Amino acid sequence: MRNFILLFLSFLLSGCASRFILPSQRFLSPETQGGGFKTSIELHKTTAHEAKLAGGDNGIEGVSYQDISRSGYQFSSGVFDQFDLVWSHIASGNSLIGGKYQAIGGDRGGNGTKLSFAYLVGGNTHESDKKDIEFTLNAQEFWGLYGLRINQFFMPYASLGYGKYNYRAKVKKGFFSGERPRIRSDIYFLMAGGEFNIQGFIFKIETGLQVLETSKTNDKWAYSTGFSLGYGW
Q: For residue range 91-131, list pLDDT tens digits in order.
A: 988 899 999 999 999 888 889 999 999 999 999 888 776 77
Cross-strand partners of 98: 86, 120
- Write down the pLDDT at residue 75: 98
Q: Is the pLDDT of residue 60 over 80?
A: no
| Among 33, 30, 32, 24, CA closest to 145 | 30
Cross-strand partners of 121: 97, 140
User: Is the sign of the CA dihedral 156, 226, 159, 90 positive or negative?
Assistant: positive
- Write down the pLDDT at residue 57: 59
Name the pTM for this structure: 0.89
Between 17 and 199, the higher pLDDT residue = 199
Q: Which of 27-36, 53-62, 180-189 has the lowest mean pLDDT?
A: 53-62
- Write down the pLDDT at residue 7: 42
Element housing 4 (H / E): helix 2-14
Please report which confidence band the pLDDT of residue 183 belongs to, taking 50, 70 and 90 as the band edges.
very high
| CB neighbour class for 20 (10 Å; exposed up to 12, middle 13-18, buried from 19) | buried
Q: What domains are there in the chain, each with its CATH number?
A: 2-232 (2.40.128)
Q: Which of 27-36, 118-127, 131-140, 171-180 has the lowest mean pLDDT?
A: 171-180
